[in-house]
Amino acid sequence: MTASLRVRDLCKSYDGVRVLDRFSVDVEPGEFVALLGPSGTGKTTLLRCLARLADPDAGEIYVGSHAMHLLSGRALRVARHEIGFVFQQFNLVRRRSALENVLTGRLADVSLWRVIAGRFPEADCRAAFAALERVGLLDYAFQRADQLSGGQQQRVAIARAIVQRSHLMLADEPVASLDPAAAESVLALLRDIAREHRMGVLCSLHQPVLAERFADRICEMRPSPG
C-alpha cells in the first residue's frame, strides 16, 4: 500500500529566511501524525505547501500517487481533491448552513448550474447528512455556520473533509481556538476518522500533552537556524 503522504527534502524561504529546511515526513494510511512545535517553526507553512496553497521552493510531495510538487492547473485541482484541509479558523462560509458547508466537499463533482441553484444531487446530500451524523451534528444541519460554537464549526469542517473522501487530512492547529473539552473531542474525532477511513492525518499542534495523548507518532519541528 502506498503512503498517504510522503514528503522529501521540502524547502521554503520567505524573504531569504529558511522556514523549511529539507523537511521530510511520511504518513501511512490510517495513521495520525502530530506535527509538534512552538509557534513560528513553520507548521502552517509546511501544511500550506503540502496542499499547494503556497509553493515550495524545492523538494518532493507525494499524496497517494500524485506528485503534488509537479502539478499545476487542472491536474493540481484533481490532486487537491485527495486532501481534506482543516483550518485553525474553521473557514466555513458564515451565511451557509452546516449542511451546505459540508457539501463544499462535493463541489468538484457537481455541475455549475446545480451549485448556482443550490440543488446538490441526492446522493451527495445523503453523504453530507451521514457525515454530520458521524461528527454528532445531525440536529444542526440547517443551522447557519456562524451560529455554531467553535467546536461545532470545527466538526462541520471535519465533516466537509469526510464527504470529500480524501486519502489525506491536513489539519493546521485545529484546536488552537477551542476550549479544552472541545479540543479533546475534536482530536478524538480526527483520530477515529483516520482509522475508520484509512486516511492519513497530519495535524499540527503546539501542546505536547495533546500530541502524546492522541497521536500515533509525533514529528517535532524545530526552529531552523535561519
Partner 1 sequence: MGALRFTAILLAVGAFYAFCIAFADVDLWRLWKGLPRLAAWTARAWPPNFEDFSTLLQRAAETIAMASLGTTIGALIAVPLCLFAAANTTPDAVLHVAARGLLNILRGIDSFVFALLFVAAVGLGPFAGVLGIALHSAGSVAKLWSESIETVERGPVEAATMSGAGRLKIITHALLPDVLPALASSMLYIWEFNLRASTVLGIVGAGGIGQELKSSIDLLDFPRVFAILLIVLAMVTFVDQVSAMVRRHLA
Ligand X SMILES: Nc1ncnc2c1ncn2[C@@H]1O[C@H](COP(=O)(O)OP(=O)(O)O)[C@@H](O)[C@H]1O
Residue 205 contacts partner 1 per CB under 8 A: no
| 116-175 positions binding ligand X, by CB under 6 A | none
Q: Give alpha helix (H) positions in the chain.
A: 43-50, 73-80, 98-103, 112-117, 122-134, 150-163, 180-196, 208-214
Distance, in Å, from the CA atom of 150 to the CA atom of 226, rounded to the nearest integer, reads: 35
SS3 assignment, position 92: coil
* Cβ at position 184, least distance to partner 1 in Å: 23
Spatial contact of 22 and 9, defined as CB atoms under 8 Å apart:
yes
The residue behind cell 492547529 is 173
CB of 177 to ligand X, least distance (A): 14
Q: Which of 41, 152, 154, 166 binds ligand X (CB under 6 A)?
A: 41
CB of residue 53 to partner 1, shortest distance in Å:
6
Main-chain phi, psi angles of 133, to 5 degrees: -65, -40
Segment interacting with partner 1, rule: CB under 8 A, options 15-23, 61-69, 86-94, 125-133: 86-94
Mask: binding to partner 1, 95-134, rule CB under 8 A, as x and -? xx---x--xxxxxx-x-x--xx------------------
The residue ranges of DSSP E strands in 28-99, in sequence order, are 32-36, 58-63, 66-67, 83-86
If one asks whether residue 180 binds ligand X (CB under 6 A), the answer comes out as no
Q: State the minimum distance, in angstroms, from the CB of residue 49 to ligand X.
A: 9
Site string for ligand X, 1-40 (x = CB under 6 A): -------------x----x-----------------x-xx
Number of Cβ within 10 Å of residue 118's Cβ equals: 9
Question: Which helix (DSSP H) or strand (DSSP E) does residue 47 occupy?
Answer: helix 43-50
Position 70 contacts partner 1 (CB under 8 A): no
> Which residues contact ligand X by CB under 6 A?
14, 19, 37, 39-45
